[in-house]
Amino acid sequence: MEHNYKLKIRYGTSRAYGYEGQNTMSLKDVYRNKRVAYAVGGGYDMHGAILGEWIQSEFQEELKTLDASKHNGMYPPNEKGKVYINGCSGERCMHGILKDLGYDIWDVGYRKGSRLYFITKIEEAKQA
C-alpha cells in the first residue's frame, strides 16, 4: 500500500440535464491519474463529502480498527463488515479520521479552479 497521496479538487458547474448550473466538485488521485470522488449540488460540506468518500474507499480495512463513536460522521461496520463515512459532517471531521489512521493532510492551496492536498504517513512526515 502506498503511504503518500496527492489529491486535487476541481471545482466546476454542471451542464448535465436536470443539474444545470449546480456546483460540482471532483477529487482526483494525481499519482494514479484517476477520479476517486464526485459531489454535485450544495447546502452541505462538499469538501468533506468527497474526502469522506475517498477515505471510505481507500482505507476500508484500517477504518475497522477505529472506534466509530469517537468520530463524527463515521459509522461502525455493518452486517457486511463495511464501514460507512458521512463526509457531509465536515472537512475537519475527515481530517481527524485521517489523523487517527496515522496520516497528516497538507492543504497546499487554491489555484485556478482547483485545490491541492498532500497526504503523508505521519512516520514519513517526521523523518522529512
pLDDT for 12-37, tens place per residue?
999 988 888 899 999 999 999 999 99
This prediction has a pTM of: 0.87
Are residues 27 and 21 in contact, defined by beta-carbon separation less than 8 angstroms? Answer: no
Q: How far apart are CA 101 and CA 95, in angstroms?
A: 10
Per-residue pLDDT of the chain (128 residues; tens, 9 = 90+): 457 899 999 999 999 888 888 999 999 999 999 999 999 988 888 999 999 999 999 999 999 999 999 999 999 999 999 999 999 999 999 999 999 999 999 989 888 889 999 999 987 545 54
